Amino acid sequence: MHNVIELAKQYKLRIFIPSTIGAFGPDSPRNPTPNVTVQRPRTIYGVSKVHAELLGEYYHHRFGLDFRCLRFPGVISSDPPGGGTTDYAVAVFHEGLLNKKYECYLEPTTRLPMIYIEDCLSALFQFLNTPNELLRRRVYNVTAMSFTPEELFSELLKYIPDLKITYKPDKRQHIERLIAINDVTSIGKSSDNIGRFAEVTSIITLGAIQSGGSGAGGRPAHCPRQAGHKFSTIAKHDGIGDGNTNMICRGWWS
């Protein structure tokens, strides 16, 4: 990473390094967790991400490098899970559809932030295409929605009624406590007029994931579409409720 950032400086390249909610630790404020705050992660994964964030910011302030970074929540898609703390939200589709049962490694009330892959990529695309002068910082939280295993499985049972769910928390439950956040700064706290509302992320996206793709028109049929709304300091909406669920589609970064 050091070599890549140094080469970007020498050849005047732009550079993006992905970060994660794992960059926060148990001392970070919760509900919501702001962009600039105490982090102090207690996992090597989180420590390495904070190192990347700070090194990139240093090169930006010292040498003018166009460094950008987004802290992603758990990303939900139809691709196989990688074994991370938030990956139960993907694994349940693969194992549930195949075996009609799933053993969750987190406690049922563990709330974590998530985002659907389409919104994740859209947020990244828009962030990278935002003019440099509009960015007030180099590292942003990305947010869409938060839910618990219990809430997710309750919705999934509407699609797979014979799905059997059991719980057996393992070491990943401990990691969740080290991360110690379940929501990040909402659009109402944003100071950058640079983003749009998440268009797709909703627990109703279950149908799209179950079928291995997206709903009609590239989005689930019941997810509210708010493509024209922009972030601003006077944003009055903390979220956009989906009338079919109690979940919320919120802004991408703030």
pLDDT digits (tens, 9 = 90+) for 191-244: 444 444 455 555 445 555 555 544 333 333 333 333 332 322 222 222 322 322
pLDDT band at 85 (very low <50, low <70, confident <90, very high): confident
pLDDT band at 181 (very low <50, low <70, confident <90, very high): low
Section 63-81 average pLDDT:
92
pLDDT band at 171 (very low <50, low <70, confident <90, very high): confident
Q: Can you give the residue ranges of every domain in the chain?
A: 1-209
How do residues 7-58 score in pLDDT, each as one tens digit? 999 999 999 999 999 999 988 988 788 889 999 999 999 999 999 999 999 9
List residues bridging with 87 in a β-sheet.
none
pLDDT band at 127 (very low <50, low <70, confident <90, very high): very high
Report d(CA 47, CA 37) in Å as an integer: 15
- Given this model, what pLDDT does residue 31 score? 76
Residue type, 139: V
Average model confidence (pLDDT) across the chain: 76
Are 221 and 179 in contact by the 8 Å Cβ rule? The answer is no
Cβ-based neighbours of 53, under 8 Å, separated by 6 or more: 17, 19, 23, 69, 138, 139
Catalytic residue among 11, 45, 58, 88: 45
Section 115-136 average pLDDT:
91
- Given this model, what pLDDT does residue 178 score? 59
Distances (CA, A) of 247 to 77, 136, 145: 18, 29, 7
Active site annotation includes 88: no
The CATH number given to 1-209 is 3.40.50.720
- Given this model, what pLDDT does residue 228 score? 31
- Given this model, what pLDDT does residue 240 score? 26
- Given this model, what pLDDT does residue 198 score? 53
pTM: 0.75
